[in-house]
Structure 1
Amino acid sequence: MTFETLSTARAYGGTQGVYRHQSTATGTPMTFSVYVPPHDEGARLPVVWYLSGLTCTHANVTDKGDYRRACAELGLIFVAPDTSPRGEDVADDPAYDFGQGAGFYVDAMQAPWAPHFRMWSYVTEELPPLIAAHFPADMARQSIMGHSMGGHGALTIGLTLPERFRAVSAFAPIVAPSRVPWGEKALGGYLGDDRAAWRRHDAVSLIEDGARVPALLVDQGDADQFLEEQLKPHLLAEACAAAGIDLTLRMQPGYDHSYYFIATFMADHLAWHAERLK
């Protein structure tokens, strides 16, 4: 399978597309969406990566994220990958928080996950050249954001590759997966029992171990049903304070974990990214 266009639609003067290709990293077809805003012929535009959360595909944010108007006004390309490999031959788990739809943006090392679950390599190594080849992207100006599991992915990738991503933000991220049930299950299942190997996929641990970015923006609803058990944003606040990272942590009264919350504050995040992508 070569690069395939599944659909395109006009939106705010730009083009919202959905695309598929055969991934070398995962060994499966992978689907993703890209919004390209209106632009002058020959222009190269900054790229914002959005990583989705548990159970999601590219379609959740594409359908419900309310990003296109802001991206059109700010001149930002918006890329939304899937959250895992998929298919009948791909290992899965009956639980919603593991297996297909729950790749956790790591390269699995344990059977039966290792052959296909290589979402770190897919997002950081394979998909960027594809975006550069097929869209008017200025790959010298990239940023990354995400929600929940995808917020975890955005934070860990951004902290690991600060020279690539000029801005990093998150909605309700899993900030310390090594210390919460979702993360312990995923990191243990994909990477094995050696917790030292988990640290490079844990934002708080990465900061404790010396990873640095100039600033982070995090929005978190105070009515989020996962706040106390799974998300624990205070751990990120403590790590950033100790490291001297400028964290803007906004606790939003009455908001839950849903896309209503994400859509409400999406334009704020995109404006924050755009300022750093100039």
Structure 2
Amino acid sequence: MLKEMTELTEIGRVRCFDGWQLRYRHHSPVLGCDMVFSVYLPPQAENTHLPHLYWLSGLTCDDQNFVTKAGAQRYAAEHGVIIIAPDTSPRGDGVPDTEAWDFAQGAGFYLNATQQPWSKNYQMESYLLNELIPLINETQPVIIHKRGIFGHSMGGHGALTLALKNHTLFQSVSAFAPICTPIHCPWGQQAFERYLGADQEKWKDYDSCELIKQHGLPWPIRVDQGLDDNFLGEQLMTESLVIACENQSHKLTLKMREGYDHSYFFIASFIGEHIAYHAQQLEG
């Protein structure tokens, strides 16, 4: 299987801030379909291995939204950090889908589905942890023990939950406008019931606020949230994360940004701060 995993096809290469923005396709046995992901290699990668970050995007996105809209390459080049941006779900004609924009293809929620027909393909947690990370370790000039994760909205949820459950695998985490407690919001409830079934106890394994109670982290969480975000109250529920961290005495650095919404204009405004934050966390 490892041989099959490492058969990458390069489908894009663009010079950017003296580094390279790359795009690859490979077959994923875990997801049962072909997958695409992007990698930014800053100029320092030509001579040495570097710390690296995984970016997880939100609902309806693929690997290209972050690459083309966030403006992250400038800061990755400045700090000497590699950034990997996977897709948000399995895709293809044989992958189950719906007409809903917030469920199925483009909305994998970074979990392992247990319910049919979703369980055959929607295994995003296993794909990221057991397939993509080993693939990146094998094929890219990364320092294996210097790995961070961050994301936006659904991807912020994914970054937080994966870090909380795997804090020996990741050494830093941050999020823009994350879905903080999906078991209590419409986006999460819709996805979890269909992916995971009716037993809500099983949902807690993919809820950041619940995971903070169980696991915690040996390092801080950083979150940026726009105060003009239309999804803040009903879907994102940032206050629940604040309360969960306070109850567990876990350090949370929360930046509430006046006038900012849920868009990539918000992300582009503060992505430099996030990359600098991760670079500092990964220095040790």
TM-score range for the pair, normalised by the shorter chain length: over 0.9
Alpha-carbon contact 1:52-1:82 (below 8 Å) kept: yes
Q: Deviations over 1:235-277 (max 9, x none)?
A: 0001111111110111100100000000100000000000011
Cα displacement (A) at 1:179:
0.4
Matched residue, 1:238: 243
- Taking the TM superposition and a 5 Å limit, the aligned residue runs for 1:121-270 are 121-270=126-275
Instruction: Note the residue ranges of structure 2 that are not aligned, 5 or more in a row.
Output: none
Cα displacement (A) at 1:134:
1.5
**SS in structure 2 of the partner of residue 127 of structure 1:** helix
Alpha-carbon contact 2:59-2:102 (below 8 Å) kept: yes
Distance 1:210 1:260 in 2: 33
Alpha-carbon contact 1:14-1:72 (below 8 Å) kept: yes
Please state if 1:32 is matched with 2:37: yes
Distance 2:170 2:270 in 1: 20
Please state if 1:113 is matched with 2:112: no
Q: Alignment RMSD, CA only? A: 1.0
- Moved runs in structure 1, 4+ residues, more than 4 A? none
Matched residue, 2:66: 61
Q: Deviations over 1:64-96 (max 9, x none)?
A: 011001000100000000000011111001111
Please state if 1:78 is matched with 2:67: no
Distance 2:204 2:230 in 1: 26
Distance 2:127 2:52 in 1: 17
Distance 1:236 1:274 in 2: 24
> Structure 1 53/40 Cα, relative in aligned 2: closer, same or farther at 3 Å?
closer
Distance 2:86 2:39 in 1: 9
Alpha-carbon contact 2:164-2:215 (below 8 Å) kept: no
Alpha-carbon contact 2:51-2:146 (below 8 Å) kept: yes
Q: 1:17 is matched by which residue type in structure 2?
A: L
Aligned length: 278
Alpha-carbon contact 1:159-1:213 (below 8 Å) kept: no
> Structure 1 264/12 Cα, relative in aligned 2: closer, same or farther at 3 Å?
same
Q: 2:216 is matched by which residue type in structure 1?
A: A
